[in-house]
Amino acid sequence: MTRRRPMTRAAQYVALAAYLVFLGFPLLWLLSMSLKSPRELASIAPQLIPKHFHWSNYSDALSEQGLLRAGLNSLLVAIASTALTIAVALPAAYALGRFKTRLRGIATGWILVSQLFPVVLIVIPLFMILRSLHLLNSLVGLTLVYVVWTLPFALWMLRGYVAALPPDLEEAAAVDGASRPRILVSIVLPLLRPGIVATAMFAFISSWNEFFFALVLLRGNAQTLPLSLSLFVGSEGQVSLGPLAAAAVLATIPSLLVFAVIQRRLTSGLLAGAVKG
Amino acid sequence: MRTRTTVALAAVATTAAALLSACSSSGGDSSGGKVTLRFQSLAFQKPTVAAVKTIVDTWNKAHPDIQVKLTQGSWDSIHDQLVTQFEGGTAPDIVHDDAADLAGFAQQGYLADLSGNLSSAVKNSVPKGVWDTVSQGGKIFAAPTLLQSYVVFANTDLLAKDHIAVPTGSTLTWDQLQSMAKQATTAGAHGLGWGLKSPTATMLTLGLNFGGKYFSGSGQDATVSVGDNENQVPQRIHAMAYDDKSIDPTSLTQSGTDVLPNFYAGKDAMVVGGNYVAQQITEQAPKNFHWAVLPPLAGTSADQAADPQVLAVSQASKHAKQATQFIDYFMSADSLAKVGEGDWLIPTTAAARDAVQSSTGGKSGWTQTLAGAQYQVSAPFQSVTNYPRWKDQIATPAFQQYLANKISLSDLDKKLSDGWKQVNS
Amino acid sequence: MTVTETPVTSEAARPAPRRRRRSANRSSRDAWVLVLPALIPVLILSVVPLARGVYLGFTDSRAGLGIKTHVIGFANFSKLWHNSLLLESFRIGLIWAVSVTLLQFLLALGLALLLNEDLRLRWLARTLALIPWAMSPVIVAILWKLLLSPTVGPIDITLNRLHISQTHINWLGDFNTALPAVIIVGVWVGMPQTTITLLAGLQGIPSELQEAAAVDGANTWDRFFHITLPHLRPIIFAITSLDFIWNFNSFGLVYVLTAGGPGGKTMLPMLFAYNEAFRYGNFGYAAAMGDVMVLVVVVFLGLYLRAGLRRSEA
Q: What is the pLDDT of residues A2-36, one digit of tens each?
A: 566 778 888 888 999 999 999 999 999 999 999 99
Residue type, C33: V
Which residues in chain C are contacts of B13 at CB distance < 8 A?
Answer: 43
C43 contact B CB<8A: yes
Position B297 pLDDT exceeds 70: yes
Q: How far is C7 from chain A (nearest CA, A)?
A: 9
Distance (Å, whole) CA B107 – CA B101 = 11
B81 contact C CB<8A: no
Taking residues C222-232, report their average pLDDT. 81
pLDDT at residue B411 in the model: 94
Taking residues C239-260, report their average pLDDT. 86
Minimal Cα distance from B109: which residue of C? C65
Position C99 pLDDT exceeds 70: yes
Q: What is the DSSP string of C130-192?
A: THHHHS-HHHHHHHHHHHT-TTT-HHHHHHHHTTSSSS---TTTSTTTHHHHHHHHHHHHHHH
Contact flag C46-A27 (C-beta cutoff 8 Å)? no
Contact flag C39-B12 (C-beta cutoff 8 Å)? yes
pLDDT at residue C162 in the model: 85
What are the helix (H) ranges across B25-152? 46-62, 78-88, 99-107, 120-125, 128-133
pLDDT at residue B32 in the model: 59
Contact flag C206-A271 (C-beta cutoff 8 Å)? yes
In Å, what is the CA distance from A59 to each residue of A40, C138, C294?
18, 20, 46
Position B123 pLDDT exceeds 50: yes
Evaluated on CA atoms A92, A95, A98, A104, the torsion sign reads negative
Nearest CA among A182, A200, A178 for reference residue A265? A200
Name the pLDDT band for B185 (thresholds 50, 70, 90).
very high
Name the pLDDT band for A123 (thresholds 50, 70, 90).
confident
C281 contact B CB<8A: yes
Which residues in chain C are contacts of B263 at CB distance < 8 A?
Answer: none
The percentage of residues in chain A with a pLDDT greater than 90, rounded to a whole number, is 21
In Å, what is the CA distance from C33 to each residue of A88, A109, C26?
11, 20, 10
Q: Which of residues 210-249 of C touch B (CB under 8 A)?
A: none
Position C12 pLDDT exceeds 50: no
Q: What is the pLDDT of residues A72-86, one digit of tens each?
A: 999 999 999 999 999
3-state secondary structure of B301: coil
pLDDT at residue C22 in the model: 47
**CB environment A21-54: b (16+ within 10 A), e (fewer):** ebbbbbbebbbbbbbbbbbbbbbbebeeebeeeb
Position A121 pLDDT exceeds 60: yes
Q: CB–CB of A220/B96 below 8 Å?
A: no
Contact flag B87-A124 (C-beta cutoff 8 Å)? yes
Distance (Å, whole) CA C115 – CA C164 = 31
pLDDT at residue C308 in the model: 74
Minimal Cα distance from C27: which residue of B? B1
The structural domains of chain A, with segments of one domain joined by +, span 5-33, 65-275
Which residues in chain C are contacts of A16 at CB distance < 8 A?
Answer: 111, 114-115, 119, 125
Give the number of other CB atoms < 10 A from CB of residue C13: 9
Pick A266's closest partner by Cβ from C192, C199, C239: C199
pLDDT at residue C132 in the model: 92
Name the pLDDT band for C217 (thresholds 50, 70, 90).
confident
**CB environment C214-236: b (16+ within 10 A), e (fewer):** eeeebeeeebeeebbeebbbbbb
Supply the pTM of this predicted model: 0.85
Contact flag B81-A38 (C-beta cutoff 8 Å)? no
**What φ, ψ does residue A100 adopt, rounded to 5°?**
-95, 95
pLDDT at residue A261 in the model: 82
Q: What is the mean pLDDT of chain C?
A: 82
pLDDT at residue A271 in the model: 37
Between these two residues, C246 and A103, which has the higher pLDDT value?
Answer: C246
Distance (Å, whole) CA A179 – CA B96 = 64
The structural domains of chain C, with segments of one domain joined by +, span 2-56, 75-313
Residue type, A236: E
Q: How far is C276 from chain A (nearest CA, A)?
A: 10
pLDDT at residue C106 in the model: 94
Taking residues B372-382, report their average pLDDT. 90
Q: In this complex, how many residue pairs, one in chain B and one in chain C, have their CB atoms less than 8 Å apart? A: 95
pLDDT at residue A135 in the model: 83
pLDDT at residue C238 in the model: 80
The percentage of residues in chain B with a pLDDT greater than 90, rounded to a whole number, is 63
pLDDT at residue B26 in the model: 39
Contact flag C249-A116 (C-beta cutoff 8 Å)? yes
pLDDT at residue B17 in the model: 45
Name the pLDDT band for B183 (thresholds 50, 70, 90).
very high
Which residues in chain C are contacts of A10 at CB distance < 8 A?
Answer: none
Which residues in chain A are contacts of B75 at CB distance < 8 A?
Answer: 233-236
Which residues in chain C are contacts of B199 at CB distance < 8 A?
Answer: none
C190 contact B CB<8A: no
Distance (Å, whole) CA C65 – CA A87 = 42
Q: So what CATH class is A65-275?
A: mainly alpha
Q: What is the DSSP string of C275-298?
A: IIIIIS--HHHHHHHHHHHHHHHH
pLDDT at residue B31 in the model: 52
Q: Which CATH architecture has domain C75-313?
A: Orthogonal Bundle (1.10)
Minimal Cα distance from B83: which residue of A? A124
Q: What is the pLDDT of residues B160-182, one digit of tens each?
A: 998 898 888 889 999 999 999 99
Q: What is the mean pLDDT of chain B?
A: 88
Give Cα C279 to chain centroid, integer Å.
Answer: 26
Rounded to two decimals, the ipTM of the complex is 0.81
Pick A129's closest partner by Cβ from B20, B80, B264: B20
Q: How far is A101 from chain B (nearest CA, A)?
A: 11
Contact flag B24-A129 (C-beta cutoff 8 Å)? no
Minimal Cα distance from B386: which residue of C? C280
Between these two residues, A165 and C99, which has the higher pLDDT value?
Answer: C99
Q: Which residues, other chains included, contact B151 with Cβ-Cβ below 8 Å and sequence gap of 6+?
A: B272, B273, B274, B275, B293, B294, B296, B297, B365, B368, B369, B372
C252 contact B CB<8A: no
Q: Which of A231, A232, A244 to mutate to test the interface with B (most CBs of B within 10 A)?
A: A231
Using an 8 Å CB-CB cutoff, list residues of chain B that contact chain A.
5, 19-24, 40, 42, 44-45, 71-77, 80-81, 83-84, 87-88, 90, 98, 255-258, 260-262, 264-265, 267, 274, 276, 280, 283-286
Q: Which of C279, C282, C283, C285 to mutate to test the interface with B (most CBs of B within 10 A)?
A: C279
Q: Which of A186-200, B38-52, B357-371 shows the lowest per-residue confidence on average (mean pLDDT)?
A: A186-200
> Which other chains touch chain B, taking contact as 3+ CB pairs less than 8 Å apart?
A, C
Which residues in chain B are contacts of A118 at CB distance < 8 A?
Answer: none
Q: Which residues, other chains included, contact A154 with Cβ-Cβ below 8 Å and sequence gap of 6+?
A: A85, A86, A89, A93, A199, A202, A203
pLDDT at residue A2 in the model: 53
Pick C40's closest partner by Cβ from B16, B258, B393: B16
Taking residues C70-98, report their average pLDDT. 91
Name the pLDDT band for C11 (thresholds 50, 70, 90).
very low
Distance (Å, whole) CA C151 – CA C170 = 9
Between these two residues, C258 and C25, which has the higher pLDDT value?
Answer: C258
Taking residues B107-135, report their average pLDDT. 90
Position C103 pLDDT exceeds 90: yes
C131 contact A CB<8A: yes
3-state secondary structure of A16: helix
Taking residues A249-269, report their average pLDDT. 78
Q: How many residues does chain B have?
A: 425
Q: Which of A204-208, B124-128, C249-253, C263-267 shows the lowest per-residue confidence on average (mean pLDDT)?
A: C249-253
Taking residues A39-44, report their average pLDDT. 88
**B135-136/B139-140 β-pairing:** antiparallel
Give the number of other CB atoms < 10 A from CB of residue C161: 9
pLDDT at residue A266 in the model: 66
Q: How far is C176 from chain A (nearest CA, A)?
A: 23
Contact flag B24-A212 (C-beta cutoff 8 Å)? no
DSSP lists the bridge partners of residue B309 as: B98, B146
Q: Which residues, other chains included, contact B170 with Cβ-Cβ below 8 Å and sequence gap of 6+?
A: B295, B296, B371
Between these two residues, A272 and C309, which has the higher pLDDT value?
Answer: C309
The percentage of residues in chain C with a pLDDT greater than 90, rounded to a whole number, is 22
Distance (Å, whole) CA A148 – CA B117 = 46
Contact flag B256-A237 (C-beta cutoff 8 Å)? yes
Contact flag C65-B110 (C-beta cutoff 8 Å)? yes
C312 contact A CB<8A: no
B411 contact C CB<8A: no
